[in-house]
Structure 1
Amino acid sequence: MVGVAVLAATVLTVTAVAPAPAAAHGARPVPHVVGTGTVPVYSYAEAIRESVWVEAPMDSDGDGVRDRIAVDLVRPREAAAAGVRVPVIMDASPYYQCCGRGNESEVKRYDANGLITSFPLFYDNYFVPRGYAFAAVDLSGTSRSTGCEDVGGRAEVTGAKAVIDWLNGRARGFTADGTPVQATGWTTGRVGMIGKSWDGSVANGVAATGVPGLATIVPISAISSWYGYQRFNGVLRASDYPAYLHSYVNGRPAEACAATLARLRADSAEETGDYNAYWAERDYRTAAGRVRASVFMVHGINDLNVPTSQFALWWEALAERGVPRRIWIHQTGHEDPFDVRRAEWVRTLHRWFDHWLQGLRNGVQWEDRASIETSPGVWRDEPDWPARGARPVRVALGGGDGTTGTIGGRGARPGTVFSYTDESLGEDELVTDPNTARAGRLAFLSGPLTGPLRISGSPSVRLRIRVDRPTTELTARLVDYGTATRINHFASEGVRTLSTESCWGEASPTDDGCYRDTAEITATGDHAVLTRGWLDAAHHTSLRFTTPLRPGRWYTVDIPLDAYEAVVPAGHSLGLVLGQSDPEFTNVDDRDATVDVDLAASRLTLPAVGRVSLPAVTVAPQVRTESTATIRSDPVDPRRVPDRGRSTRD
């Protein structure tokens, strides 16, 4: 370890604690509670470490035996000896052996007897001394669990749910030798699920079952609908994607899960891109009404792995049902807040769990719902998200000079048509030099903004089109043209790993809770793509079936763009760029289609806050750009695993 900067507040060992009021779950006063917060009074080094296999109510590998889900636990020994029951923080993951967790790709480690000796991440080091247990759960078919990993499906969610049932006395658990074991003697049964990416997606799925005992979830960069992750409105993100993800994390012999793999390939309907029963099973938003847990979600607004629609639509569904919730939105990519805003994250998470799991009245539930990074390292708390006062503003498209169209003003005259033919352009080719005629795209520009323009929510584009093929991929990008220093999320998701360390919690001889410090990566550039959207034109009527287009006929189609939060400064120009096949982000399928766009019947809709300062222009301004490739260090790969740890060598 190098350059250790230990935070005394996080490693303090308390030797004498004044009597504390009982937590709201009702027992007697407990030594780990002082006032409205928990304090580190228990030894992490001496904590109880054990493994349990929980029986799930299904046989996903078809071997005639119910799946058994491996759970590695660490809990305070002194609390158990005193009969003090503790709540559980749980991270259910497919990554504990194959790939690792966190920025340093930590895996679980065991001694020669199979006893867990080291847990990934800081949750155990920090929270166990404060009167919590931590459970690291292997998803079905991964690591030491039996069954088969079905990528967001029933086996995955039911297996993780079974662990909560076991913690509440409703399911059976066994040691490695088959001895029955119960948890009801040491836990309150209150569980908080947390995790980044796939782990957070499982938390969403389990919350959508309404399982009693799950008090809160903290989904970070998480999926709420696997269709929206692997299909962009009918467009394939990548071929054979469900099978690829299954194979990436599979911990079973190939023959054990061959049938599951075959079902993933057959049922996901790659040949059509349709939303069907397979995807409905993996769409947690449809069950938002069952959610009993509070939700604290975190997402990077520039996450190109798990698109921002995944948090925005889930947030909207929960809001409609009055679910207690909170959100952090940062400007990096697919990142954990521990590596973006570390000290404040640990402090806030601690208070969140103290309230929802320990029952402490610390007021965290009454604070502003949203915390938003407005520029690199600058944060603002707000009552809600999207921002209060955000409203859909329709913006007309104009013909401009016939090469570059315009945004704003009265728009084009009836009968103004722009046409473009598919060229499978990469993003750099699409958005640079918008005043230059370039085959395969259409570009529209506003005049220089007369004031700052805040976008808060989900934009969309409505197009009146005529296509000479039965379908084509339609893409849209909203671009900020103007020089600024921004988070460079193309470089290691926008976060650099430093050589110094800080420690968060207590240590054992095999698990020290110390992690490399991080810093955001910035770059100064003359433009930035804010948000993107895709649509298979044959899915313009419904995502459940295709409606092939008839050449020569006009259709109205809507392209939803991913949610965004930004302020475009005064003097910058806002751009809308349309393309077709998108080789960097989706499965390339160049159909050579020609698309005619009726500008007078087309528009951009912006979720704008306050006054919209788009000047009415009839000719697009001259905008000059450089290639964004000069700042990219990570290629955009459409077939991504929903988490990729960064190396400490970044």
Structure 2
Amino acid sequence: MSGSLLRRLITAAAAGAVVATSVAAAPAHAAAVPHIRDGQTVPVYSYENAVRESVYVQTSLDNDQDGVPDKVAVDITRPREAADRRLKVPVILEASPYYSCCGRGNESELKTYDANGVIAKQPLFYDNYFVPRGYAFVSADLAGTNRSTGCMDVGGREEVLSAKAVVDWLNGRAVATYGDGSPAVATGWTNGKTGMIGKSWDGSVANGVAATGVRGLETIVPISAISSWYDYQRYNGVLRSTDYPEYLHRVVNGRPAGVCDTVVKQLDEGSDDATGNYNAYWAERDFRPDASKVRASVFIAHGINDTNVTTTQFAQWWSRLDVPKKIWLAQQGHVDPFDIRRAAWVDELHRWFDRWLQGLRNGIEREPRASIETAPGTWVDEPAWPAASARSTRITLGNGDGTTGTINSRINGGSRTWSDAPDLEEATAVANPNTAVPGRVAFLSAPLTSPVRISGTPTVTLRVQVDKPTTELTARLVDYGSATRVNYLARGEGITTLATESCWGESTTADDACYRDTAENVVTSDHAILTRGWQDAAHHVSLRRVTPLQPGRWYSITVPLQATDQRLATGHVLGLIVQASDNEYSTPQSTGATIRLDLRGSSLSLPLAGRLPIAGATAPAVPTAPAPAALSPPAPKRFQPLLP
């Protein structure tokens, strides 16, 4: 036995002994709820002795078409001592497709079961930490994954309703059985108050279930989560990858070969790669229009530099919610806050669940709504997001020296013409903005005379002529200036996993609460991309239909960029880089166009706190480190083979 494992077991045993003693020694006049002291929940119940059970919740669907209602496999860990006292506890629920295929967390933990098929290990720390504090932890295999029946429909009705059925069962509105077919009833041990949590796909399910308005769902904590599957797999008509829904289905599918062929065909036909249109298939997977139905409070966490589940996902959802809400924005990419700001995150999550699931008036809803990482390791709390001081500001584009244009110029005439270079890599496109690079055009502000902040969703409007029926248009905002920044494009997306570990809750021989520590991965660089945006030109009228461009005709096309919150220091230069096709972040359907850009009819719209200086006649010189040599074949797409 390793020293590390032995230490965990000794720690767990000692913790269990303390818990047992504290429960047994409680005087007769002790509070009716022993896990609540001084306005918060405390660990008084034994995790080792917890009730562990696995049940199957029946849904109202049969999308595997076998004539039997689909069932969701649900694994439960709950405090035995609370059950013995007939105390009903709230539930923390994570519904996921990843429990057998891919794992959860930075260490990719999977579920494990004992010889009788009952849950032995739940991934992540939620059960280890919260069960001793008077919560039940419930993990549900989404339909068609792991031990559930049905078929995974990737963000669709089956997926959302299979998770909703679990909330209904916890509130006595659905039926479930144990593995032997005997009835399983939850209302004897839970008060029905449920909070859903999860990162990425798991958090997306929480958003979808909340959008049904289901009663009993009191709060959700979506981490790096999707609110519109169209915006995850399309960028305003631009495909991220062909056959993407089918790919996701294959990765998480837990059913025998052939069982879900009908659903896979529906994914292929419904997603409509041929046009990139938003249609009924995508509307079913768009939770934002139903934000008004959400009853639950919402605690969002997201990486400002997430290039997998991009920031539009949280920003569009956040702006529509009219419930108690809170948001954490980190400088990392697709990373859980547990691996960024661990102690503070666990404490905040604890207080959030205590407030909305245990009903403890701890005041968390009156505290600042937003916590934002402004630089590596530096966090600020603010009353709102976007920043209240940010104002939408229209900024002109100028001709500059004819090669490099200017931002915020008093004279904004001139034009640019360039031909699409589909294999132009991002690193090359944003480097050396004072030189001509085939396939891109660059614009620079004057050096900042005071700090500015971009907080919200920028856009760039381009007046263009295109010699083909369509083209992809790609825009990037760049901060040119030396700074120490989170290295979110590196492996780990801004974190480094260390050899040490820390423990968050109690452990058993099958399920330890100890996780590798992490540190921010930082780098000093002379420039950094602040945000990106993409638009298919033929979808400029509507995402629901293609409107081909006529050669020789001028069109005004707006490219929405991803939401952001970034600060630029005095002396730095703001850059705008525009190109056509982007083969790193998308799969262009039409390439090779020649584009003419009219600067007088083009502009940049920034949610700006502070002011940009007026540009001079020419752009400032901005030296950057040499761009990497072009790769052949092109660099792999950054989002593959990532999963949401």
Using the size of structure 2 for normalisation, the TM-score is: 0.95
Secondary structure, aligned partner of 2:595? strand
- State the Cα deviation string for residues 348-380 of structure 1 (Å, max 9, x = none): 000000000000011111110000011101110
**Paired residue for 2:206?**
203
**Paired residue for 1:423?**
421
Equivalent residue runs for 1:116-155 within 5 Å: 116-155=119-158
**Paired residue for 2:256?**
253
- State the Cα deviation string for residues 293-329 of structure 1 (Å, max 9, x = none): 00000000010100000000100011xxx21100000
For residue 170 of structure 1, what is the amino acid of its counterpart? R
**Paired residue for 2:222?**
219
**Paired residue for 2:345?**
345
Q: Cα distance, 1:615 vs. partner?
A: 3.1
Unaligned segments of structure 1, at least 5 residues: 23-27, 644-650
Equivalent residue runs for 1:455-474 within 5 Å: 455-474=454-473
Q: Cα distance, 1:588 vs. partner?
A: 3.5
Q: Cα distance, 1:587 vs. partner?
A: 0.4
Q: Are 2:300 and 1:297 equivalent residues in the alignment?
A: yes
Question: Are the counterparts in 2 of residues 96 and 138 from structure 1 also a CA contact under 8 Å?
Answer: yes
Equivalent residue runs for 1:40-55 within 5 Å: 40-55=43-58
For residue 116 of structure 1, what is the amino acid of its counterpart? I
Measure the CA separation in 1 of the matches of 2:360 and 2:249.
40
Pick from 67, 73, 77 the counterpart of residue 76 of structure 2. Answer: 73
Measure the CA separation in 2 of the matches of 1:142 and 1:180.
23
In structure 2, relative to structure 1, the CA distance for the partners of 1:411 and 1:139 (3 Å cut) is: farther
For residue 487 of structure 1, what is the amino acid of its counterpart? V
**Paired residue for 1:642?**
643
**Paired residue for 1:562?**
562
For residue 362 of structure 1, what is the amino acid of its counterpart? N
Q: Cα distance, 1:71 vs. partner?
A: 0.3
Question: Are the counterparts in 1 of residues 307 and 639 from structure 2 also a CA contact under 8 Å?
Answer: no
Measure the CA separation in 2 of the matches of 1:629 and 1:71.
49
Unaligned segments of structure 2, at least 5 residues: none
Q: Cα distance, 1:3 vs. partner?
A: 6.9
**Paired residue for 2:112?**
109
For residue 417 of structure 2, what is the amino acid of its counterpart? S
Q: Cα distance, 1:592 vs. partner?
A: 1.1
Q: Cα distance, 1:614 vs. partner?
A: 2.6
Equivalent residue runs for 1:582-597 within 5 Å: 582-589=582-589, 591-597=591-597
Question: Are the counterparts in 2 of residues 392 and 607 from structure 1 also a CA contact under 8 Å?
Answer: yes
**Paired residue for 2:602?**
602
**Paired residue for 2:97?**
94
Secondary structure, aligned partner of 2:84? helix
- State the Cα deviation string for residues 166-219 of structure 1 (Å, max 9, x = none): 000000101112111110000000000000000000000000000000000000
Secondary structure, aligned partner of 1:476? strand
Using the size of structure 1 for normalisation, the TM-score is: 0.94
For residue 358 of structure 1, what is the amino acid of its counterpart? Q
Measure the CA separation in 2 of the matches of 1:470 and 1:590.
9
Secondary structure, aligned partner of 1:146? coil
Equivalent residue runs for 1:28-427 within 5 Å: 29-318=32-321, 322-413=322-413, 416-424=414-422, 425-427=424-426
Secondary structure, aligned partner of 1:642? coil
Q: Cα distance, 1:601 vs. partner?
A: 0.9
Measure the CA separation in 2 of the matches of 1:81 and 1:361.
27
Question: Are the counterparts in 2 of residues 11 and 504 from structure 1 also a CA contact under 8 Å?
Answer: no
Measure the CA separation in 2 of the matches of 1:397 and 1:229.
30
- State the Cα deviation string for residues 70-108 of structure 1 (Å, max 9, x = none): 000000001011100000000000000000000000000
Measure the CA separation in 2 of the matches of 1:642 and 1:311.
17
Question: Are the counterparts in 2 of residues 485 and 524 from structure 1 also a CA contact under 8 Å?
Answer: yes
Measure the CA separation in 1 of the matches of 2:301 and 2:484.
23
Measure the CA separation in 1 of the matches of 2:388 and 2:563.
15
Measure the CA separation in 2 of the matches of 1:595 and 1:585.
20
Measure the CA separation in 2 of the matches of 1:3 and 1:172.
42
Q: Cα distance, 1:2 vs. partner?
A: 6.8
Equivalent residue runs for 1:520-599 within 5 Å: 520-589=520-589, 591-599=591-599
For residue 345 of structure 1, what is the amino acid of its counterpart? W
Question: Are the counterparts in 1 of residues 458 and 605 from structure 2 also a CA contact under 8 Å?
Answer: yes
Measure the CA separation in 1 of the matches of 2:41 and 2:639.
43
Secondary structure, aligned partner of 2:259? helix
Measure the CA separation in 2 of the matches of 1:41 and 1:81.
14
Measure the CA separation in 1 of the matches of 2:361 and 2:577.
50
Q: Are 2:456 and 1:453 equivalent residues in the alignment?
A: no
For residue 568 of structure 2, what is the amino acid of its counterpart? V
Q: Cα distance, 1:639 vs. partner?
A: 3.4
Measure the CA separation in 2 of the matches of 1:613 and 1:202.
41
Question: Are the counterparts in 2 of residues 449 and 615 from structure 1 also a CA contact under 8 Å?
Answer: no
Secondary structure, aligned partner of 1:74? strand
The two structures, once aligned, show a CA RMSD in angstroms of 2.1
Question: Are the counterparts in 2 of residues 51 and 72 from structure 1 also a CA contact under 8 Å?
Answer: yes
- State the Cα deviation string for residues 369-399 of structure 1 (Å, max 9, x = none): 0000111011100001001111101110000
Equivalent residue runs for 1:456-495 within 5 Å: 456-491=455-490, 492-495=492-495
Identity of aligned residues (%): 61
Measure the CA separation in 2 of the matches of 1:230 and 1:126.
35
Q: Cα distance, 1:642 vs. partner?
A: 3.0
Q: Cα distance, 1:618 vs. partner?
A: 1.7
- State the Cα deviation string for residues 95-133 of structure 1 (Å, max 9, x = none): 000000000000000112111111100000000000000
Measure the CA separation in 1 of the matches of 2:42 and 2:346.
14
Measure the CA separation in 1 of the matches of 2:200 and 2:502.
24
In structure 2, relative to structure 1, the CA distance for the partners of 1:94 and 1:402 (3 Å cut) is: same
Question: Are the counterparts in 2 of residues 326 and 369 from structure 1 also a CA contact under 8 Å?
Answer: yes
Secondary structure, aligned partner of 1:209? coil
For residue 415 of structure 2, what is the amino acid of its counterpart? V
Q: Cα distance, 1:291 vs. partner?
A: 0.2
Measure the CA separation in 2 of the matches of 1:411 and 1:120.
59
For residue 278 of structure 2, what is the amino acid of its counterpart? Y
For residue 514 of structure 1, what is the amino acid of its counterpart? C
Question: Are the counterparts in 2 of residues 3 and 499 from structure 1 also a CA contact under 8 Å?
Answer: no
Q: Cα distance, 1:635 vs. partner?
A: 6.0
Measure the CA separation in 2 of the matches of 1:525 and 1:592.
32
**Paired residue for 1:647?**
none
For residue 274 of structure 2, what is the amino acid of its counterpart? E
In structure 2, relative to structure 1, the CA distance for the partners of 1:490 and 1:20 (3 Å cut) is: farther
**Paired residue for 1:646?**
none
Please say which of residues 519-528 and 8-17 is displaced more in the overlay: 8-17
Question: Are the counterparts in 1 of residues 428 and 627 from structure 2 also a CA contact under 8 Å?
Answer: no
**Paired residue for 1:505?**
505
Measure the CA separation in 2 of the matches of 1:481 and 1:543.
33
In structure 2, relative to structure 1, the CA distance for the partners of 1:92 and 1:67 (3 Å cut) is: same
Q: How many residues align?
A: 630
Measure the CA separation in 1 of the matches of 2:320 and 2:28.
38
Question: Are the counterparts in 1 of residues 72 and 148 from structure 2 also a CA contact under 8 Å?
Answer: yes
In structure 2, relative to structure 1, the CA distance for the partners of 1:350 and 1:590 (3 Å cut) is: same
- State the Cα deviation string for residues 239-272 of structure 1 (Å, max 9, x = none): 1101000101101112000000010000111100
Measure the CA separation in 1 of the matches of 2:15 and 2:481.
46
Q: Cα distance, 1:536 vs. partner?
A: 0.3
Q: Cα distance, 1:36 vs. partner?
A: 1.0
Measure the CA separation in 1 of the matches of 2:616 and 2:181.
75
Q: Cα distance, 1:636 vs. partner?
A: 4.5
For residue 344 of structure 1, what is the amino acid of its counterpart? A
